Every structure is written in C-alpha cells, then in structure tokens.
Amino acid sequence: MSFQVFGIPVSRGVAIGRAVLVASSRVDVAHYFIGEDQVSAELARALRARDVVALELETLKNELPDDAPHELAALLDVHLMLLHDDALIGATKHWIVERRYNAEWALSAQLEVLARQFDEMEDEYLRERKADLEQVVERVLGALAREQGQATSDAASVAQRDFAGEDPLLLVAADIAPADMMQFKRSIFHGFITDIGGKTSHTAIVARSMDIPAVVGTREASRLIRQDDWVIIDGDAGAVIVDPSPIVLEEYRFRQRQSELERARLARLRHTPAVTLDGQAIELHANIELPADAVAAVEAGATGVGLFRSEFLFMNREGELPSEEEQFVAYRAAVEAMKGMPVTIRTVDVGADKPLDRMSATELRHEHVLNPAMGLRAIRWSLAEPSMFRQQLRAIYRASAFGKVRLLIPMVAHLSEVRQIIEAQKRVQQQLSEAGHAFGRVELGVMIEIPAAAVMLPLLLRHVDFVSIGTNDLIQYTLAIDRADEAVAHLYDPWHPAVLQLLASSIAQARAAGKSVSVCGEMAGDPAFTDLLLAMGLRSFSMHPSQIPSVKQRVLRADAARLGGLIDSVLASDDPQRSAELAFGSQRTAGLVQ
C-alpha cells in the first residue's frame, strides 16, 4: 500500500530507488561495501562469529549450577535455536552476496527484517521473542567486532561499488553520523532519508554537496519504510513516497529527466566568468572536505577553495590522528590541484556534530557536557591540544610553498584566542626555518559564526587579513536554535532580521577596513540568497562545487549597483524575505529587459 512521509527538504531534486535501511543498534556497527573478491571471506566471518557465540552459549548452558532455574537453561536453548535458524545467519548471506554489505551491516539489516515480522505477530509470547533475537544478534556483532581488527579501517577504501544494471538505492536511517556520511559520500546512494536533522545538519550539507535529493526530520521514516521498498524522494517538497503507484512513478521519472536537462544546461556556464550586469567580478570559491574534491572544484569553474574542512582528514581513523607528513601531503595535493588559485584551509573543527573517534584526556573530562555545540570544539579544542595544533599549522605552512594558502580559524569569540594563534604561527615559522622547510606567506583569517565575533569585528580586523562568515552556526547561535533538532528546525530562519543585520554589518565593516570578506555557509550556495548577499556588498562566495553553476547563473543576471540601492529597505522591513522578493525580483526583470 502506498503512503507518504513528510520531512524537511534539504537537497533538491527527485530520487527513485529501493530503500536501504541502516538500523540503529545498541552496538556500534560499521557500514561499508565490500568488493566481489571479499564476499567469501565476509561470509566466513559471519559463520565464524555464529560458531563463537554458539560455543559461548553451549558453555554457559553446560556450566549452569544444579540449582539454577529451569527457565535459564530453556532461555539459552531459545537463543541457540535462534542462532542456528536459517532465517538469521542464512538470510544474512543474501545481504553479503547480493548487496555486498559487510557482515555487521548484513546482520543488522536482517535483524531489521525479522524484528518487524515479530512485531506483526498476534501471539504476545512470540512477539516478546524479539528481545531474544536482538540479544543474539548483539552477541554475534560483538564477536565480529572482536575479530574485526584492521578490517573497519579499510572501510573507506571499499566504500565504492559499481551497481551498473541494478536498482538505484536510497539510504534510510534514524540519523547518519558525519563519519558515516564520509564513507557513503562516494558510494552508490542516490538519496538520503533520515528521521532527525534540519536544513543545516551535517547530513543535509553532505547531501547537497553530493548533489543528490534528501529529506530529513521525517521522525518515522526508518520505522515505516522496509528494506527494499520502492521509494521516491521529492527533495523539493520534502516528501517521501513509499510503494508509489505506476502513474505517480512515471510522473516523478519525468521530473527526474527534466532536472537532468537543467543540470546539463547550467554546466555550460562552467567557463563563463562570474560578472554581474554592471561589470562587478564575483569570486565563486568551492568548499571541499578532502584533497580529491579540489579536482571537482576546478571542473566546476571555481576560482579557488574558500573552505577546506580539514577535520575530515581526522575522521574514520580508529582513534589515530593524521601525522604532520600525512596532513602536508593532503594539503599540498589540494593546493597543486587548484593550479595557483587560493586555498583556504580551516583548522580542525571538531566537536558538536563532528566528534573524533578518539578522545583526549581533556575531552574525556567533557564527555557528558549537556550542550556540545557550545563546549570544547573548534579553535577551543585546538588550543587545548597545542601539540596537535602546531603539527597542523606546520603542515599547512609547508603546503604554502606550493601555492597560495590562507589559514582560517573557526569559532573565534575572544581576542585572546587570536593572539594565541598569532604566537603559534610565529613559533611554527621558526621551527620550519630551523628545520630547513620552505614556506610562503600565509594570510590569517577568522570565521564569523558567533554573534560576539560579529559585534567585536572592528577589533578583530586589526589583527587578521580576512574574515569568512559561517552562516550555519551564526544563525544557530544568534537564534539559539539547534540546527540538527527537527523539533525546532522550523525556527531556524536565515531571513530573521537579527541574522541579516549581523551579516550586513559584518560585510560592510570588513570592506570599510580594506579586508576581504566571504560567506562560506549554506546561504552562499543557495541562489535564493545570491541577490541579497550581492546587495549587502559581498563579492566572494564559497560553496560546494555542485552549487556553483546555479549561483553563477544568478550572478550573471544581477545588477549589483541597483541591488545595493535596495538593501536598506529590505533590512528595515518587517518581512525581509517578502520585501527582498518584491525588490530584487523587479530589479532582475528590469536588468534583463535592458
């Protein structure tokens, strides 16, 4: 029976495919694809784990004391029966052979199938056996984890798989951690659906960066959708259609084809300079997460990298931080790929929704903080780990010998932090000079993402070369909205007058001080805000490469001088969004007529 689930649209377009559920579990489960040559080994892993658990249960049963309750032995018999039932391990083979899931993911997927069957049983006693099944599966997952060793660290290398000729797949989950998103980023999913999250949650950002449709904050999708259900993701309306009728399916397939044609048309703008109707040159930089992304940035026509999120070099490493040499090689690769265009590297921004696998002693003391978004994260974490921070700075400085590199510091709120950073820079330069390493001039910039930084910007501008406005966090902290919480996601409002005032004043103050200013948050890549930002005086945008063509099209149709004359009325309006639509819409039409 067809039904719909509604959530928050975060990445536009239409995706049609079969559902792949990443079920939640009390045991941390690795999710990755294996190669064809690894199928036999993975099947063997699953069987070995089953045999290990079977031996454990048999041993427990045999060692029961004589006065043990009869029910305890009977319970162990039930667990052994479930363990050897072909519906569990036998059916798990299907996910390994057909879908190429690793053993842990395959077992979790089969648990999801069986758990729903138990839920639908009329007999209460049989329904209660679901708990036994979950306990058995967790024992097997534990055995797999103990045996796993190095295998999970190879997940990223096998995260890709060629599904040519097979049904497209859509990922459905309660939530997707940033580390998992990086594993899935270059895999075969055509869309994402999550129960929680908002427009600027990490899942949403990565989905947009992959240019695939996504709907988050659905609350119930992972419970209602079953493995292998046919699903449509309407990324424009925020709707998820499960088991669609043939008529609905054909309508959405038509919309898919139209969207592909539009993408092809925009791609032709790749080599067109981003210049407004009145001759203003606009920088369209790229946000990247890994060095390989720089290639896509160049292909999309980016004029530089406005944000290299270096924290993704630190994730999925089983607790080991990257060495200075490894970081240097990564930064140099990105710099060389940009062929002389500037690369802005943000120092590691961990914490909140991007925790590392390992926690230092300092972090362990803060493990149970109530609000991680306001805790030890970003530059606060770096300054609390001076050895790690200097190591990253050395790698960045060494990469500057191969091209133009700029250093960007996240979450600055105090002038004392900037002073500590400048001291760290001086120390690193001295260390590199003594070691005989070449390096170039590295400009220093800070992110404006905390209202305090926006308010004290004139003071910060005396000590830095440039600023970059991170609108995602700026909106979150200005409005006191957790952007990943679907319960308050509707209150996350980029058009809020307070947000616009902070944006406009930050851009104006930086330009008045003769310092370059860019926006690297989600607003920069959303064409709905292009005219607004141009009107505020912004001339440098940074976004995911896939967003550059649509923003460039908006720039080419804009008259920046006329837009600037309209900004005061928009900022003074009770309804800035409506006012901007009326003012900028008419301006754009006038510009095209001329």
3-state secondary structure string across 550-594 = HHHHHHHCCCHHHHHCCHHHHHCCCCHHHHHHHHHHHHHHHHHHC
Give yes or no: residues 299 and 416 share one domain.
yes
Give yes or no: residues 361 and 384 share one domain.
yes
Which pTM does this prediction carry? Answer: 0.71
Dist. CA 257–CA 498, nearest whole Å: 40
Give yes or no: residues 529 and 548 share one domain.
yes
Dist. CA 416–CA 425, nearest whole Å: 14
State the distance between the two ends of the chain, measured CA to CA, in whole angstroms. Answer: 54
Q: Where are the beta strands (DSSP E) in 207-365?
A: 214-216, 230-234, 239-242, 283-288, 305-309, 343-346
Give yes or no: residues 285 and 405 share one domain.
yes
User: Burial code of 260-291, b = ≥16 C-beta within 10 A, e = fewer?
Assistant: eeeeeebeebeeeebebbeebebbbbbbbbbb
Residue 211 has a pLDDT of 76
Give yes or no: residues 295 and 388 share one domain.
yes
What are the φ and ψ backbone dihedral angles of 193, each rounded to 5 degrees? Answer: -135, 125
Residue 364 has a pLDDT of 36
User: Burial code of 553-584, b = ≥16 C-beta within 10 A, e = fewer?
Assistant: bbbebbbbebbeebbeebbebeebbebbeebb
Dist. CA 129–CA 107, nearest whole Å: 17
Asked if residue 26 is part of any domain, the answer here is: no
Dist. CA 312–CA 348, nearest whole Å: 8
Residue 586 has a pLDDT of 61
Give yes or no: residues 134 and 104 share one domain.
yes
Asked if residue 140 is part of any domain, the answer here is: yes
Asked if residue 528 is part of any domain, the answer here is: yes
| E strand or H helix that includes residue 171 | strand 169-173
Q: Could you give the number of structural domains in the chain?
A: 3
Residue bearing tokens 């943000």 = 346
Give yes or no: residues 339 and 351 share one domain.
yes
Residue after which a domain boundary falls, among 142, 157, 172 = 157
Asked if residue 16 is part of any domain, the answer here is: no
| Sheet of 8-11, strand order | 3-6, 239-242, 230-234, 14-22, 169-173, 189-194, 214-216, 8-11
Which residues form the domain of 563?
272-593
Among all residues, which ones are annotated catalytic?
202, 520
All residue ranges of the chain with pLDDT < 70 are 23-28, 67-72, 123-128, 148-166, 177-187, 200, 202, 316-319, 351-373, 484, 486, 586-594
Residue after which a domain boundary falls, among 157, 191, 220 = 157
Residue 371 has a pLDDT of 64
Give yes or no: residues 149 and 210 share one domain.
no
Residue 244, CA distances (Å) to 2, 63, 251, 253 in order: 5, 54, 10, 12
Asked if residue 338 is part of any domain, the answer here is: yes
CA neighbor of 22 nearest in space, from 201, 144, 179: 179
Give yes or no: residues 229 and 352 share one domain.
no
Q: Where are the beta strands (DSSP E) in 66-161?
A: none
Residue after which a domain boundary falls, among 157, 180, 205 = 157
CATH number for the domain that contains residue 503: 3.20.20.60
Give yes or no: residues 171 and 75 share one domain.
no
Residue 228 has a pLDDT of 86
